Structure 1
Amino acid sequence: MKWIGAILILFTCTWVGIDIARNYSRRPRQIKELLHALQIMEAEMVYGQEPIRQVFIQLSKQLGPPIAFIFYDLSEHMRTSHESLEVLWERVLNEKWKYTSMKSNEKEVLLHLGQSLGVHDLEHQRKQIHLAHIHLSGELDDANQDDKRFSKLFRALGVLSGLLLMLIFI
């Protein structure tokens, strides 16, 4: 019976370490998706002259979860609500951010972008999208460094802490 408990402890600690490492690996991919979304958004809004709600619908179809869910919810809230885009943008980001692996820095960049979408002329919106792109590119570099630095660490830490607890309890 002791051995079954020890194996469960080892398995659980290893799983926790792998899960934490997976979050570090997801963050760069999600930032890359946001960068791609900004490029699509700029092209559709500035050059294609598409309405912002239609752009959000297209983004929700082209991107993967959880980023797609953010844009889908934005488009749905715009359809059903009469609140400003800035308020909807902030609400949806606050609701859906917990499903991403990104940090508060990326959220702040997007919240700042949401303050100018649909309010200013297209040229100013394009500049804000470029500014968000620059900030997110910097965050992507940090996320890649964190992924390289911490992914292996947390995997190993999960296994080693499981072994330590297993030895303590046996």
Structure 2
Amino acid sequence: MKWIGAILILFTCTWVGIDIARNYSKRPKQIRELLHALQIMEAEMVYGQEPIHQVLYKISKQLTPPLGYIFYDISEIVVNSHESLHTIWEQTLNKKWHHTAMKEREKEIIIQFGQTLGIHNLEQQQKQIQLAKAHLQRELGDASEEEKRFSNMFRALGVLFGLLLTLIFI
């Protein structure tokens, strides 16, 4: 019976370490997806001159969950609501951001970008998109560095902590 408990403790701790490491791996991928979304938005707004709800809908179809769901929700609420775009943008991001692996810094960049949507002319909007992309690019570098530094460490810590608990309880 002790061995079954020891194996369960070891397995659980290892799984927790792998899960934490997976979040460190997801963050750079999701930031890259946000950068891709901003590129699509720039192309659709500047060259296609599509309405914002259609742009957001197109972006939602090209992104993986949870980011695709966030953009889809914003596009649906914009069509069905009389609130301003930046209010809808911020409220939706505040509600759904916890589903992502990204941090508050990325959220603040995207919220600040959303406050400029639909307010400026196309040239100014393009500059705002470029600014948001530059900030996200910096965060991508930080996220990649954190992934390299911490993902292997948390995998190992999960296994080692499981072994430590197993030795303590046996």
Q: TM-score range by the shorter chain?
A: over 0.9
User: Offset at 1:135?
Assistant: 0.2
Is structure 2 residue 137 aligned with structure 1 residue 140?
no
The letter of the residue matching 1:41 is: M
Q: Report the Cα distance in structure 1 between the residues aligned to 2:21 and 2:147, rounded to whole angstroms.
A: 8
User: Offset at 1:131?
Assistant: 0.2
| TM-score, structure 1 as length reference | 0.99
Moved over 4 A (4+): none
Residue 112 of structure 1: aligned partner: 112
| TM-score, structure 2 as length reference | 0.99
- How big is each residue's C-alpha offset from its partner over 1:20-49, in whole Å with a ceiling of 9 and x where there is no partner? 000000000000000000000000001110
SS where residue 120 of structure 1 aligns? coil
Alignment of 1:25-40 (within 5 A): 25-40=25-40
The letter of the residue matching 1:9 is: I
The letter of the residue matching 1:76 is: E
Aligned residues: 170
Q: Report the Cα distance in structure 1 between the residues aligned to 2:122 and 2:83, rounded to whole angstroms.
A: 21
The letter of the residue matching 2:132 is: A
Question: Structure 2 unaligned runs (5+)?
Answer: none
Residue 102 of structure 2: aligned partner: 102
Alignment of 1:11-90 (within 5 A): 11-90=11-90
User: Offset at 1:95?
Assistant: 1.0
Q: Report the Cα distance in structure 1 between the residues aligned to 2:82 and 2:4, rounded to whole angstroms.
A: 57
The letter of the residue matching 2:168 is: I
Q: Report the Cα distance in structure 1 between the residues aligned to 2:122 and 2:70, rounded to whole angstroms.
A: 22
User: Offset at 1:122?
Assistant: 1.2
The letter of the residue matching 1:133 is: K
SS where residue 101 of structure 2 aligns? coil
Question: Structure 1 unaligned runs (5+)?
Answer: none
Over the aligned positions, Cα root-mean-square deviation in angstroms equals: 0.6
Residue 124 of structure 2: aligned partner: 124
User: Offset at 1:79?
Assistant: 1.5
Q: Report the Cα distance in structure 1 between the residues aligned to 2:85 and 2:44, rounded to whole angstroms.
A: 17
- How big is each residue's C-alpha offset from its partner over 1:74-126, in whole Å with a ceiling of 9 and x where there is no partner? 01111111100000000110111001000111001001000000111111111
Is structure 2 residue 156 aligned with structure 1 residue 156?
yes
State percent identity of aligned pairs: 69
The letter of the residue matching 2:120 is: H
